[in-house]
Each structure stands twice: as C-alpha cells, then as structure tokens.
C-alpha cells in the first residue's frame, strides 16, 4: 500500500482502536508494506515512525523428480536445495535416505544456511543414497521437504587427489548493522578433505567473543561493533595445495538521537532555535515536519541547517507540533516537540514586587520587575507619584529591573514598576528600606600562641540595631562546627559579639580563621592568622653507619620546628637487653640545634641496637623520630668475667664449680664460652676445661683421687670466636665432703600440748677434716590404723648446730615414733635410736558462757561460768582474757586461775573482750566477742548474749541496764 490512507469503515478488514491498527484476513499482496500513524489534537499533528509489515509464508516444493547425481569416489559434490517461494528467514537441513536420519555436519559435509545446499568435500561409498532438503520458516514454523536427490558412484574409477576448491564464499563487502550477529560461511571441496582456517590479513587476533565452530565452516561474530569491521580471509588447505577467499565487513548504524528538541513556549516576535542531532553511519540527513507536513522554508525567517531549526520573529501561526527526522539508508528516527506562541497583556499576578526590600546605606540594590507579557513591551519606574529619573546611580536594566548604587537615606521610599505592550498595562509596587551598614570593628591581626594555651579571636561589629546578626566561623575555609572538633572551639562574648575561644590549642589548629558576619541586608568578614608554636616534630631520615665494636655514627634531618627554633638534639638507643629506650653517650656530649650528626660511644660489642633522635626547642621536647634500622656492633675479645664464682658440695670425688653466667650483651661476639681453671691449694700447675655453652653456670670435675673436703684454687675465664679473654679472680672452693658417719645420741621427746612435741638431742661435732654438719633431719611416724601398712611419716629439717626442735600440727592423744639423722651436702648419716611420745588430750571444746560485766568510769569487772572439760579433754587450768580498744589492732592478754577478773581500765572507750579456757592440751574455744560500749554515766552493768542472730546495737538495747546514783 503506497501513500494511501486507511479509512475506518464498518465491515472493513481494517479497524482502529486506541491508536492501534488491526488487520484481519491478511493478504500478502495487498497488506505487505510500510505503515505510519497520524495523530492529531487541538495542539497539532504528528506522524509516527514507520512500521514495515512483511507477511511470512513458505510454499511447497514443485513435485517433480530429480535426476541422480553420479560422481566418482573421492570426488567432491554439491547437492542443490532450490527452496520454494517464501517470505521470512529460512533454516535448512538434509535427510539421508529416511527420516529421522539427518546429515551430520563435520569437516567433510556442510549444509549452508545461506544457499540451503549440501556440500560433500570428498565422496565416500557410505555417502551413496537419497538426500532430501528440509526447509523451515522460522517465522511461521512451517516446514516443507523437497524431492529426494539420489547420489550414486560411477564405476569408471576413483578420483585422484586434487587441491581445494572453495564452493561457498562470503560477499566481497558485507554491511552489518551495529549490535547484530553476523555469520560468515566458507567450505571447500578437495581430496584429501581440506582444512578450513580463518584469519585477518592485518594479523590482528580475533576477540574472545568470535566463535569458530568445530568444522571451521562458519565464523560467528555476535554483537557487531565498529571495531569488528574490516577484512577477513578464509583459507582451505590440503596436501595438494591451498586456496583463499577474502571479503570485508563494513559497519553501519541506523540513526540514534543524541540531542532532542524540547517543548517551548515563546512570546510573539521572539526567536526560536531547536537543535536536533543523531549518531549514525553513514551520517544522517535531517528534515522537519510541522503538524505532519514537510516544513518548507519559504520565508527567510525559517532556516534548517544540519538538523537545527531556527525561526525568527515568531507569530501565532507558528504554533504547532514539530518533528525532526534524522535518516540514512538504514533507517530513520523521529523527535517530537511542541511550540506555543503566546500573546499576553502585562500581568504581575505571579511575579509581584517584594513588599519590602532591605538595603544598607552605601551599598547597591537590585529590585526585580518580571511581569508576564507577550510580546515584550516597555517598562518604566515611579518613586512615590513621580516618574523615576535615571542617573549615574539609578538605572533600569534591559530586563526591566531597577538598580540603585551607593544608596543613601534619601533613596528610601515606595517604588512602582509599570509594564506596557499593545495588549494592556499593569504595575506592581514595593518599599525600599535603607539600613545602617554592618561594620567589623575588630582589626585584622596575627596571633602567636604556644601549644596548650587558650586564645580568644575577636569579632566585634557595629550594626543597625533593628537587624539580627549571624556570626559564622571558618578554619582554613572549612566551616567550624562548634558541636564537634573535640570541644576545642567555643563561642564567647554573648549574642552581640562573635568572638571564639580555642581551648588547649594544638599544632593542628594553626592557620587562618575567618569570621563572617551576615544580616538581611549585608555581610562582612575578617581573617585572623594564628601561629601555634609547639615542640618540634620528630627528626627525619635517621641513618647509622661507621659502626665499630663500641661506636657508631648517627645522622638525621631536622623535622619542622613548629615556629620555635631547635636548640638541642638527644640520641636514644635500645637493645634487646635494655629496659626500653635509654640516653646514649655521644661525641660531642652536647648536641646543639645545628648539629645533625654525632658519634655514639660506649656501646657493647656484638649487640643489636636501634637509634632514635629527639629535638628540643623553647616550648619543649617533641616526639621521638621513627627508630632507625637495627644494626649490630662488631665483635671483639670478651672482657667481662663471670661473677660470684663459688661451688662445693656434690657427690664423692667431685669438685663442683659454679658461677653467674655472663649476660649476652657482654659476650662481645659469637662462639662465647668459659674456661675453668683449678688446682689443689698449694699446687703450681693449673688444670683447665672449656665450657662451650654461654648459658652454662656450673662445671663438675670428677676424679677418684680427690680427697673429701679438700680446698682448691679456682678461677673462671671467657672466650669467643675472636679469642680468649681474661680470667676472674682466684677463689677457694672445697671438694665434695663425706656424708655424716655417726648418728645423734641422747634423743629425748616430750609432749608440750595436744598438737606439739619437743625433741632434743646431743649434737655431733660441727666440722671435721672430711665432713661438716649442716643440720638434722627429724622423721615423725604415726600408726593411723592397726594395720602396719597405715603408717604415716613426715620429715622436717633443722639448719645449723641446734639441739632441739618443736614438731607442730600433731593429732591429740596420739603416739608418735621419732628418729634423727645428721645431713650435709654429701647426704644423710645413719638413723638415731627411735623414741616415742604421746600428745596430750585436746583442750576443752566448750567456750565460756554467761559472761557478765560491771563497769564504772575506771574499772571493768568480768565474771563467767566455769568451763567443764569432757571426759576425753584436758582439765581446765585457767583462763586467758583478751581485750582491746575498738580502734586498736592488737589485744592485751591477762591470765587468771579463777572465773572472774577485775581490770583497771578507763571506760571512756569502746572495748572488745574475748575469754578462752587454758589446759595442758592448749587453749580451748573462745567465747563470743563481747563489745562493751563507752560508759557515759557513773555505773553500768550487762552480760553477753548467747546468740549472735541480732546485731550489736540491738543486743545492747536488750541486755544493758543503767543505774544512776545521786
């Protein structure tokens, strides 16, 4: 259908609903073609983009027989499909003999989806049979089969080998649209079967998205882009030769809008410029439609240049719907837009002048006047009832706004803006109020402060009293939020001043502080530079070189001095053996502010050190530098000998020598060890032994010829890989002694209490030529049960030449067997005779009860009931009374044989009393603690409670009676 309109008539095959076109009973001859929709309303008409209607179909093959195809074995063959008439994309396949046996494609057989033909590169006997072409319409999904084509072998011989012959070739130039998938086919006949390879003549490799199928007959490039265009080459090759075909893919893209015109509303006589741009390849051409019709530029005021539409001196007839069409041979695109041309009398309803405009004296003001009117007319101004005259200070701008410069008090008043055009006149008025200017009275200055101080930065103003003022502070052009910043910043000075205080100022607070003052009519600002002086920053680039056994050369670069010159540096050192960082000794000893290097001395050889430097100025000492790299001083002969050389003891025929190991930091190098030298007292020659472990602290010389307890001269030296160092001083050490050969005699034991026994004995001689006595070992044994296997023993040792010992922690009423033996460093001697002793019965388990007290201002009389011991307990021999003032820590003790006691005590303090029974078995259970309060009257009596359930204050209130004598 070409250039014809479709009228919506009843009973027609065409119906229109909601702008949609419905066609029933499609006819491929009548209905196929290009359609466009025309939409109209009161604002104009637009034409839709084109829609192509293609009616897909697939006719049947002609029912005629096909002649057999006769070939030699080894020859290539092409079986033609010859698809019937159709519309829509087709796919092809071939049946071999009978359905569903389809020809499988491989390097020898290929079905072209371009021609539909079946290609066999080299015929084999198994290929003989009937071949049927199957055609499928991908749109209608209909399928038809052609007549079978017989393939037979000739009997006149076998085809010899020959070079490849390419039967399927892609076009010399193939145009491909952006974003499409393109498939190139290439297949050759030949004997042997040729191999197919693809490449680009320029040698550029294929991108990863390119797919070559297993048979290499198809090259597929999905989502085609500009960079995929170019030359391609297919090469077929076998042992007889090779053949090549070339082709080129060109890129094209239908138009795509990149800049669209927007709807506009213009006044009469104004100008219009619409830009319309599209990307496409090849470049698009442009044309414009107005209300669905081509826009002809019969008038000079309408111009179309490279897609841009310009119309000058707009009229009401220019109103309408416009469309920009960008097109090339591959497609076109539409951009729709609307133009409204209006004619309006002046109207201030949506843009009245401000009722009141504030301005400061000496400043400038702009009073805007923007009425709605079309076309643009004339604007004039009145002040009060008089026409406003323009001057060097007063001017009316092109847009109608009024500007007044260098305002004075006389400029205050009512101003009226009057707008006129050929359709009418309108006005709007507002008052100009002139205020006193806001002036910052503080002077710009520079503040010099020290870290940790507090400083106030002033911002004082003079202003019109009727205006509110707002102060805003900036630090290095960043707004100060007074609720944050760690609480360093605080506003001070009240509402009429903008001063701020910086508390405990830090180095990071140095910079420019700006106070911005703002009212409704003006603004002002002032800047203050704050210099913060602080301890210097850490020195930089610490380097260590020229390392010897005891020295190293340290150099550094100065860090920022924070506005106070550095007058001294200090070097600190740290090693694995030091407690943190320590001051280093240097040459020169004092390092001034200009000294950036020094030699560190008195280091230990063969020790790993780190170095750091601190700088000091008049404010203080800064943070230390980063530690240097670790360095190790050079090794040298050891010079420190072991301390506390001693020894003695050990087993028979041994000389035990001990010492305190030399610390690692004093070993002066690797391979450190000890040289032990010894000789009998009075001997002339030294015997020596090497101890290779630097941690060793003991050497034992064993020889059966060493007499017991013989004196030896001993000295211990040191060595390392550099050689031997010095020996320490000579000391005398005795060889191992013999264990005691005799047992203590006259062993006696007596019971002291229910839990203590005293043992005494006659001591052995303290020292002889072969042995010494270091003390005595006391073994106590008790039979817990009748069975002999239930003996329980314990051992205690005495030290020195004692002749008695007290054994504690024993069971009451129990029999113990005790024996002694002497001991020394060589061991223990023989056992003494065994003695036995029985501990006393246990002390009374009952505590004193019914304790009563009678107190005056100088005496305290106590009475209690006698404690009666149980049958298995020791009889009570007396009592211990313990008393103390409540503020004292240790009690006083008084013993008595009766059940009462009179104490001469000033009763002006609180007292705490406890009473214990005493027997030969020891002390019994204590009475409950009795608290006697301070007596404020002449006489008081009371008694202790038998129960502890009530607190002391309640107890006193229940059991204390006070009598007053007049």
**pLDDT attached to residue 732:** 95
**pLDDT attached to residue 867:** 85
pLDDT, averaged across the chain: 86
CA dist list (Å): 464 to 432, 469, 494, 522, 927: 16, 9, 17, 11, 91
CA dist list (Å): 152 to 65, 108, 908: 16, 17, 144
Q: Could you tell me which residue, 787 or 332, shows the higher pLDDT?
A: 332
pLDDT tens digits along 439-471? 898 888 899 999 999 999 999 888 888 888 999
**pLDDT attached to residue 29:** 60
Structure tokens at 941: 């009596």
Structure tokens at 635: 């090794």
| Spatial contact of 183 and 190, defined as CB atoms under 8 Å apart | no
Cα separation, 766 vs 962, in Å, equals 69
Look at residues 375, 376, 366 and name the one whose alpha carbon lies nearest to residue 405: 366
> Can you say whether the dihedral through the CA atoms of 754, 757, 758, 761 is positive or negative?
positive
Q: Residue 43 — pLDDT band, cuts 50, 70, 90?
A: low
Half-sphere exposure in the Cβ direction for 25 (13 Å, CA)? 4
pLDDT tens digits along 515-574? 999 998 888 999 999 999 999 999 999 999 999 999 999 999 999 999 999 999 999 999
**pLDDT attached to residue 637:** 96
Residues 602-613 have a mean pLDDT of 96
Q: Residue 48 — pLDDT band, cuts 50, 70, 90?
A: low
**pLDDT attached to residue 952:** 33
Asked if pLDDT for residue 6 goes beyond 80, the answer is no
**pLDDT attached to residue 964:** 26
**pLDDT attached to residue 135:** 92
Which residue has tokens 């049958």?
A: 871
**pLDDT attached to residue 604:** 95
Residues 871-891 have a mean pLDDT of 82
Residues 633-658 have a mean pLDDT of 93
Asked if pLDDT for residue 857 goes beyond 80, the answer is no
**pLDDT attached to residue 496:** 64
Residue environment code for 383-403, b if the CB has 16+ CB neighbours within 10 A, otherwise e:
beeeebeeeeeeebeeebbbe
Asked if pLDDT for residue 682 goes beyond 70, the answer is yes
Asked if pLDDT for residue 963 goes beyond 60, the answer is no
| Spatial contact of 209 and 223, defined as CB atoms under 8 Å apart | yes
Phi, psi of 318, deg, nearest 5: -80, -10
Residues 488-492 have a mean pLDDT of 88
Q: Which of 74-88, 349-363, 587-601 has the highest mean pLDDT?
A: 587-601
Cα separation, 359 vs 402, in Å, equals 13
* Lowest-confidence region among 44-58, 588-602, 619-633, 717-731: 44-58
Q: Residue 32 — pLDDT band, cuts 50, 70, 90?
A: low
Asked if pLDDT for residue 715 goes beyond 70, the answer is yes
Q: Residue 948 — pLDDT band, cuts 50, 70, 90?
A: very low
Query: Kind and range of the H or E element at 957?
Result: helix 952-959
Q: Residue 23 — pLDDT band, cuts 50, 70, 90?
A: confident
Residues 695-708 have a mean pLDDT of 93
**pLDDT attached to residue 764:** 87
Q: ω into residue 588 within 30 of 0, thus cis? A: yes
pLDDT tens digits along 773-825? 889 999 999 877 555 556 788 899 998 888 899 999 898 988 999 999 998 88
DSSP-based three-state secondary structure for 597 = strand
**pLDDT attached to residue 955:** 31
Asked if pLDDT for residue 506 goes beyond 60, the answer is yes
Q: Is residue 476 left, alpha or beta, with left meaning phi > 0 and alpha meaning psi from -120 to 50?
A: left
Asked if pLDDT for residue 934 goes beyond 90, the answer is no
Tell me how far the alpha carbon of residue 654 is from its chain's centroid: 65
Q: Residue 947 — pLDDT band, cuts 50, 70, 90?
A: very low
**pLDDT attached to residue 482:** 82
Cα separation, 679 vs 774, in Å, equals 26
**pLDDT attached to residue 124:** 92
Q: Could you tell me which residue, 170 or 749, shows the higher pLDDT?
A: 749
Q: Could you tell me which residue, 297 or 184, shows the higher pLDDT?
A: 184
């Amino acid at each position: 259908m070409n250039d014809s309109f479709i009228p919506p008539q009843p009973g027609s095959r065409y119906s229109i609903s909601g702008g949609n076109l419905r066609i029933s009973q499609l006819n491929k001859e009548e209905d196929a073609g290009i359609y466009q929709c025309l939409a109209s309303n009161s604002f104009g008409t637009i034409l839709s983009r084109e829609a192509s209607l293609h009616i897909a179909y697939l006719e049947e093959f002609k029912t005629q027989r096909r002649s057999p195809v006769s070939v030699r074995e080894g020859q290539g063959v092409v079986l033609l499909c010859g698809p019937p008439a159709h519309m829509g994309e087709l796919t092809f396949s071939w049946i071999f003999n009978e359905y569903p046996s389809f020809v499988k494609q491989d390097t020898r057989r290929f079905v072209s989806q371009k021609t539909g033909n079946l290609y066999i590169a080299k015929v084999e006997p198994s290929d003989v049979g009937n071949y049927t072409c199957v055609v499928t319409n991908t749109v209608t999904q209909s399928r038809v089969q052609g007549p079978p084509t017989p393939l037979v072998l000739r009997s006149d011989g076998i085809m010899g080998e020959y070079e490849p012959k390419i039967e399927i070739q892609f076009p010399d130039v193939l145009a491909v649209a952006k974003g499409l998938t393109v498939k190139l086919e290439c297949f050759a006949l030949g004997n042997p079967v040729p191999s197919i390879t693809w490449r680009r003549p320029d040698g550029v490799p294929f991108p990863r998205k390119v797919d070559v199928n297993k048979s290499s007959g198809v090259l597929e490039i999905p989502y085609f882009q500009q960079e995929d265009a170019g030359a391609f080459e297919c090469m077929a090759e076998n042992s007889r030769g090779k053949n090549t075909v070339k082709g080129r893919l060109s890129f094209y893209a239908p138009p795509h809008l990149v800049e669209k015109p927007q709807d506009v509303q213009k006044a009469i006589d104004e100008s219009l410029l619409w830009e319309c741009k599209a990307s496409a390849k090849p470049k698009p051409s442009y044309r414009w439609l107005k209300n669905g019709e081509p826009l002809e530029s019969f008038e000079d005021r309408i111009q179309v240049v490279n897609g841009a539409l310009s119309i000058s001196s707009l009229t009401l007839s220019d109103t309408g719907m416009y469309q920009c069409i960008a097109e090339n041979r591959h497609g076109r695109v539409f951009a729709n837009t609307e133009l409204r041309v209006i004619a309006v009398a002046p109207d201030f309803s949506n843009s009245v002048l401000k009722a009141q405009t504030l301005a400061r004296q000496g400043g400038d003001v702009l009073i805007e006047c923007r009425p709605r009117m079309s076309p643009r007319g004339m604007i004039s101004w009145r002040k009060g009832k008089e026409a406003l005259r323009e001057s060097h200070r007063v001017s009316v701008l092109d847009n109608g706004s009024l500007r007044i410069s260098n305002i004075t008090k006389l400029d205050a008043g009512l101003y009226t803006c009057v707008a006129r055009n050929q359709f009418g006149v309108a006005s709007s008025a507002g008052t100009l109020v002139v205020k006193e200017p806001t002036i910052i009275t503080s002077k710009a200055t520079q503040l010099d402060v020290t870290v940790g101080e507090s400083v106030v930065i002033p911002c004082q103003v003079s202003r019109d009293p009727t205006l509110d003022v707002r102060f805003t502070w900036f630090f290095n052009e960043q707004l100060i939020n007074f609720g944050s910043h760690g609480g360093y910043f605080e506003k001070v000075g009240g509402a009429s001043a903008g001063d701020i205080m910086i508390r405990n100022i830090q180095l990071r607070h140095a910079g420019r502080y700006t106070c911005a003052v703002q009212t409704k009519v003006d603004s002002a600002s002032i800047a203050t530079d704050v210099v913060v002086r602080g301890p210097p920053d850490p020195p930089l680039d610490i380097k260590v070189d020229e390392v010897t056994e005891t020295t190293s050369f340290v150099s550094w670069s100065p860090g920022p001095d924070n506005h106070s010159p550095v007058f001294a540096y200090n070097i600190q050192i740290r090693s694995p053996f030091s407690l943190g960082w320590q001051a280093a000794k240097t040459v020169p000893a004092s390092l001034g502010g200009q000294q950036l290097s020094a030699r560190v001395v008195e280091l230990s050889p063969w020790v790993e050190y780190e170095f750091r430097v601190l700088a000091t100025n008049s404010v203080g000492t800064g943070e230390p530098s980063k530690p240097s790299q670790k360095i190790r001083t050079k090794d040298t002969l050891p010079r420190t000998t072991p301390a506390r050389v001693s020894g003695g003891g050990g087993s028979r025929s041994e000389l035990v020598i001990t010492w305190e190991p030399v610390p690692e930091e004093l070993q002066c190098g690797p391979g450190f060890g000890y040289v032990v030298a010894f000789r009998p007292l009075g001997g002339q020659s030294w015997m020596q032994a090497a101890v290779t472990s630097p941690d060793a602290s003991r050497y034992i010389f064993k020889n059966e010829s060493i007499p017991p307890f013989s004196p030896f001269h001993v000295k211990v030296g040191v060595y390392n890989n550099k050689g031997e160092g010095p020996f320490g001083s000579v000391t005398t050490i005795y060889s191992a002694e013999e264990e005691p050969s005799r047992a203590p005699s006259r062993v006696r034991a007596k019971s002291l209490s229910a839990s203590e026994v005293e043992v005494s004995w006659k001591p052995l001689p303290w020292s002889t030529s072969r042995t010494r006595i270091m003390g005595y070992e006391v073994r106590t044994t008790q039979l817990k049960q009748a069975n002999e296997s239930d003996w329980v023993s314990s051992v205690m040792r005495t030290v020195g030449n004692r002749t008695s010992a007290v054994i504690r922690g024993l069971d009451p009423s129990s029999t113990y067997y005790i024996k002694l033996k002497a001991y020394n460093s060589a061991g223990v001697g023989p056992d003494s005779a065994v003695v036995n002793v029985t501990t006393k019965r246990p002390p009374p388990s009952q505590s004193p009860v019914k304790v009563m007290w009678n107190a005056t201002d100088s005496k305290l009389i106590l009475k209690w009931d006698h404690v009666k011991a149980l049958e298995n307990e020791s009889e009570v021999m007396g009592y211990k009374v313990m008393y103390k003032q409540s503020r004292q820590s240790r009690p006083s003790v008084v013993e008595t044989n009766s059940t009462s006691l009179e104490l001469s005590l000033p009763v002006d303090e609180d007292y705490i009393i406890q009473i214990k029974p005493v027997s030969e078995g020891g002390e019994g259970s204590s009475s409950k603690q009795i608290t006697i309060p301070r007596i404020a009257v002449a006489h008081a009596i009371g008694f202790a409670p038998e129960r502890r359930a009530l607190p002391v204050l309640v107890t006193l209130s229940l059991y204390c009676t006070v009598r007053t004598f007049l």
